[in-house]
Amino acid sequence: MRRNETPEGKSVRVLRVGEQVRHALSEVLMRGDVHDDVLAKHSVSVTEVRMSPDLRHATAFVKPLLGADEGVVLKALRTNTAYLQSEVARRVNTKYAAKLKFLVDESFDEGSHIDAVLRRPEIARDLDNED
């Protein structure tokens, strides 16, 4: 393992830049700098940004507040990608401006599903018997 890599294999620099991009995107969306009616009506959380190893591509995982109108919000973000890329490039000092790609974060739905399965009576009964 290289000195600048985490046990998961990603370099610390890639993770750090991903967090900087996440913060920059969150700030732009929170301030309402994007002049879009859909984005003005919805609060959008940027839950994670994954950078490519060369830092030229960024995949932003987003979730509208309460999961409302995910498709509409995602379309608005994709429509305003050029503006968001320029704002991120201005705020995050890297050699190249990262190309942004937006995806809906499904991890909350997966967590809710797992929680619902664990609360089913037959599963809860088995879990209680293990004690």
Q: What pLDDT is recorded for position 58?
A: 96
Would you say residue 78 has pLDDT above 90? yes
The model scores a pTM over 0.85: no
Tokens standing for 80?
């305003």
pLDDT of residue 121: 77
Q: For 85-108, b where at least 16 C-beta lie within 10 A, e where not — what string? A: bebbbeebeeeeebebebebbeee
Q: What is the Cα–Cα distance from 42 to 67, expressed in whole angstroms?
A: 10
Q: How does pLDDT run across 80-121, given as a tens digit for each residue? A: 999 999 999 999 988 888 999 999 987 666 666 676 677 777
Q: Cα–Cα–Cα angle for 25, 27, 33, nearest 5°?
A: 90
Q: What is the pLDDT of residues 39-76, one digit of tens each?
A: 888 889 999 999 999 999 999 999 988 767 888 999 99
pLDDT digits (tens, 9 = 90+) for 10-45: 789 999 999 999 999 999 999 888 888 888 888 899
The residue length of the chain stands at 131
